[in-house]
């Protein structure tokens, strides 16, 4: 019989279908393929029995194993927390300075703060502490600090937030004086400041915030004007805008807004009281977005990012 010669396509009946000269024969698929098909169906049935699979109105079938992704996640998380527990307990009893001085604890704080930084800080300060250019957010990966880069100051910055202020000068400076100050700031950052520029800087009161050497005053959070690190932009027109409208000046609707929120107001109250050797007085509505331990870990992380002071 022709149908018995399955290896010769010329002697096997076809279905009558043909595409580009290729005939569809009536040969059955190989036995191994058929067996694999039946086995895969059996595996699907076993899966349906063992695992959650069929959706119901308000839930789904549970499966004999009772497995869920959430359950597996919680079990894995518990294992991670068991490993971290001794470190977290030790961190809670240490100051940020002590953590920084302890190599093992410092490495743990830095390693465990990467996700913490990404979730809470990277949106403004960028991944790795480098924000978008001219965004107005300080770079944390260098060693230039508005308020100081020692570990305790960083803790205070995180806990209390920062809300520095530069007054707007649009109504107090003449156009030619603004031009002179813009040129002075540009020359100063290039090491070419003139005597006339220094005179204008001092006479118009800029020295009061930026200091006699124009390197800024940490207590005020004023910028260092002698380097090439710009919080907003070193473009002359952007410098002019900052001089005219200031930063966080409530009297000028065009002022630049640059505010860092407080991440633990309760800790900030405590730190301020300790500075004056007083008992903290809480009002009861202090926010605590991050725990004290998280604040300390982030402070160490930021300190290490920029080679803190």
The H or E element that residue 111 is part of is helix 103-112
Query: ∠ CA(180), CA(251), CA(197), 5° rounding?
Result: 15
Q: Give, as one character, the DSSP assignment of residue 6.
A: T
Count of all residues that appear for the chain in the document: 309
* CA atoms of 28 and 34, how far apart (whole Å): 9
- Residue 150: closest CA among 100, 107, 106, 109: 100
* CA atoms of 109 and 99, how far apart (whole Å): 8
* CA atoms of 207 and 131, how far apart (whole Å): 29
Please tell me the number of Cα atoms within 13 Å of 21 on its side-chain side.
Answer: 0
* CA atoms of 95 and 165, how far apart (whole Å): 30
Annotated binding site: 121, 124-125, 166, 206, 209-210, 260
Q: Is 252 in contact with 243 (CB distance < 8 Å)?
A: no
Annotated binding site for heme c: 121, 124-125, 166, 206, 209-210, 260
Strands (DSSP E) contained in 38-109 are none
Distance in angstroms between the alpha carbons of the first and the last residue of the chain: 94
148: region left, alpha or beta (phi > 0 left; psi from -120 to 50 alpha): left
Tokens of 45: 């049935």
- Residue 222: closest CA among 244, 206, 238, 199: 206
Location of structure tokens 């998380």:
77
* CA atoms of 184 and 245, how far apart (whole Å): 18
């Amino acid at each position: 019989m022709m149908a018995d010669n399955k290896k010769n396509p010329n002697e096997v009946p076809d279905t009558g279908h043909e595409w580009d000269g290729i005939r569809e024969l009536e040969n059955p698929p190989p036995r191994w393929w058929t067996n694999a098909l039946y086995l895969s169906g059996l595996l699907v049935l076993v899966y349906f029995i063992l695992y959650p699979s069929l959706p119901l109105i308000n839930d789904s079938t549970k499966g004999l194993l009772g497995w869920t992704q959430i359950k597996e996640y919680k079990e894995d998380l518990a294992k991670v927390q068991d490993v971290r527990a001794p470190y977290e307990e030790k961190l809670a009893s240490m100051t940020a300075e002590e953590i920084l001085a302890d190599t093992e604890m410092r490495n743990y704080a830095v390693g465990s703060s990467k996700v913490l930084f990404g979730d809470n800080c990277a949106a403004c300060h960028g991944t790795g502490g480098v924000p978008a250019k001219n965004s107005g957010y300080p770079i944390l990966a260098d060693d230039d600090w508005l308020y100081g880069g020692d570990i305790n100051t960083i803790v205070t910055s995180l806990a209390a937030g920062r809300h520095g202020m530069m007054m707007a000068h649009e109504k107090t400076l003449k156009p030619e004086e603004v031009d002179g100050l813009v040129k002075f700031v540009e020359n100063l950052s290039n090491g070419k400041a003139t005597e006339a520029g220094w005179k204008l800087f001092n006479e118009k009161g800029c020295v009061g915030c930026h200091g006699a050497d124009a390197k800024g005053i940490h207590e005020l959070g004023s910028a260092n004007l002698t380097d090439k690190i710009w919080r907003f932009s070193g473009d002359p027109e952007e410098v002019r805008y900052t001089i005219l409208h200031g930063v966080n000046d409530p009297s000028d609707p065009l002022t630049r807004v640059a505010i860092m929120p407080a991440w633990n107001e309760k800790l900030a109250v405590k730190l301020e009281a300790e500075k004056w050797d007083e008992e903290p007085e809480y009002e009861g509505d202090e926010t605590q977005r991050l725990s004290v331990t998280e604040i300390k870990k982030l402070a160490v992380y930021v300190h290490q990012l920029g080679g803190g002071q």
